[in-house]
Amino acid sequence: MGLVFDSELSIHCMHSMYSGINISQTDARPMYLQIMEQIRARIAVGDWAAGKELPSIRALAAALSVSVITIKRAYLDLENEGVIFTRHGKGSFVADVNGLAGELQAEKIDEHLAAAAGIGRQLGLSEEELATRLRRAIRNLDKK
Amino acid sequence: MTQTKHIEMRGVRKTYPFFTLDDLSLDLEPGQIMGFVGANGAGKSTTIRLAMGLIAPDAGDIRVLGHAIPEAQGAAKRDIGFVSSEMRLLPHTTIGWHMQFISSIYPEWDAPYAEALVKRFNLRPAQGSGGLSQGEQIKALLMLTLARRPRLLILDEPTNGLDPVARHEVMTEFMDVLRDDNRSILFSSHNTVDVERISDRITFIDRGRVVDCNDKEDFLERWRRIHLQLPPGVTLPHLPGIVSRVVDGQFSTLTTNSYSDGLLALLGNTVRDVQRMSLEEIFVANVFHHREARGQ
């Protein structure tokens, strides 16, 4: 039953492969975040497997009727999160979580730590105070 | 990027008895959609008429698709499609007559695309121009223009007078044009929802002056409203990038055009809430800020 329904559905959706992604005007989050979340969801449930090529930026922009710069921003942030990767001239692909994604995750956490260090300096915290706070944050995670 | 800019305006001035457009600079790159936002009478249509060579500037340089305007407008216009919500089809003719006429002038006319647009916009070629609604007029004009496949589309309030369904159809078509990264669109509007959705770059204009011009994502990232609660007796230090500040007892609302984690750290635990702003809110705050700065 499910299979029959699936094939019917794909016929209805042929004119736009990505018509399932939509943008809400009543959602307070910016459009790029809404797009990121829906792409993440497709990857998380396995509909978009590792290595799958994502639609080109311009194709997705046209399909969703949103600006190219918004899609660029969404792809760039997904790349920074390690969810997708981009080969120049080839396109963007769903990342293999165990491989490349690991490195990107490491970069991502370094970025967050750098931001925390920056805020710490602005607040006048010493290196030791900042380290104490990080250790406390880790202990708090364990408590939960 | 060494590609020729699709529109390049530098230090343009145009003076009328009761209105002056001054020191206008504007750049449109290939592959981009620029939203041109301003109140009625801000100078949007004047700017568009200057770019089209319909009027000559009193000072400054204008180049469109690499051609000097207004001198070489003939060469530029082959590749420009221009639609304004004030345009009408010729009276006592049909949509089909216009299609025939335009295809005989422009060798680039794409007949299959024209047919597809007629279907998508639900137009009837046999229908006379006199009986068309405002929305049908605009959709017919857009069909006639898009089917020439111009590299540059200049659209003056193209969604004016369109119902929500027609607006959606038309905007989908605009985005389809941009699948080709050598095409571009400049469109003016006071409908900021349309502009926010499809523009890559946004230019705000007010009282004949460009108020701000930036990537859309930059606008949305940098502008925030911050709600603070300050204990009695505590005053805020001078903070950079605050465009407005409203104080009501212990509560203050700041509007900033340069939001950052650093700013948030400076404000510390007085912050109760941080809100993103819609393009419309950013536009209005921006305009008031600049009017104030210029003492108007």
pLDDT digits (tens, 9 = 90+) for A98-141: 555 556 567 778 888 998 998 888 888 899 999 999 999 989 88
Higher pLDDT, B151 or A144: B151
Domain boundary assignment for chain B: 7-219, 224-276
Q: What angle do CA A74, A118, B240 make, to 5 degrees?
A: 85
pLDDT in tens, B155-194: 999 988 888 888 888 999 999 888 888 999 999 988 888 8
For the stretch A46-49, contacts whose Cβ atoms lie closer than 8 Å and that sit 24 or more positions apart, written own/partner, are A48/A94, A49/A94
Distance from chain centroid for Cα B79: 20
Question: Which tokens in the block code for residue B2?
Answer: 């060494």
Interface mutation vs chain A, best among B196, B214, B270, most A CBs within 10 Å = B196
Interface mutation vs chain A, best among B169, B171, B179, most A CBs within 10 Å = B179
Q: Rounded distance, CA A22 to CA A60, Å?
A: 11
**What percent of chain B clears pLDDT 90, i.e. is strictly above it?**
71
Tell whether the model's pLDDT for residue A3 goes beyond 50.
Answer: no
Question: Number of residue pairs across A and B with CB atoms under 8 Å?
Answer: 59
pLDDT in tens, B12-27: 999 999 999 999 999 9
Distance from chain centroid for Cα B229: 38
Tell me the pLDDT of chain B averaged across its residues.
92
Q: Does A92 touch chain B (CB under 8 A)?
A: no
Residue B127 Rama label (left phi>0; alpha psi -120 to 50; beta): beta
Q: Are residues A122 and B262, on separate chains, in Cβ contact within 8 Å?
A: yes
Q: Rounded distance, CA B108 to CA B106, Å?
A: 5
What's the pLDDT score for residue A112? 87
Please check whether residue B204 is in contact with residue B216, taking contact to mean a CB–CB distance below 8 angstroms. no
**What percent of chain B clears pLDDT 70, i.e. is strictly above it?**
99
pLDDT in tens, B24-43: 999 999 999 999 999 888 99
Averaged pLDDT, B144-151: 95
What's the pLDDT score for residue A8? 36
Higher pLDDT, A112 or B200: B200
Q: Does B292 touch chain A (CB under 8 A)?
A: no
Decide: helix, strand or coil at residue B189: strand
Tell whether the model's pLDDT for residue B47 goes beyond 90.
Answer: yes
pLDDT in tens, A72-99: 999 999 999 889 998 888 899 998 865 5
CA-wise closest residue to B81 among B8, B159, B173, B184: B184
Burial group, residue B81, by CB count within 10 angstroms (0-12, 13-18, 19+):
buried
Q: Are residues A61 and B175, on separate chains, in Cβ contact within 8 Å?
A: yes
Question: Which tokens in the block code for residue A48?
Answer: 């978009």
Q: Is the pTM of this model over 0.95?
A: no
Averaged pLDDT, B208-224: 94
HSE-CB at B181 with a 13 A cutoff on CA atoms is: 9
Is this prediction's ipTM beyond 0.85?
Answer: no
Tell whether the model's pLDDT for residue A16 goes beyond 90.
Answer: no
* Assigned CATH topology for domain B7-219: Rossmann fold (3.40.50)
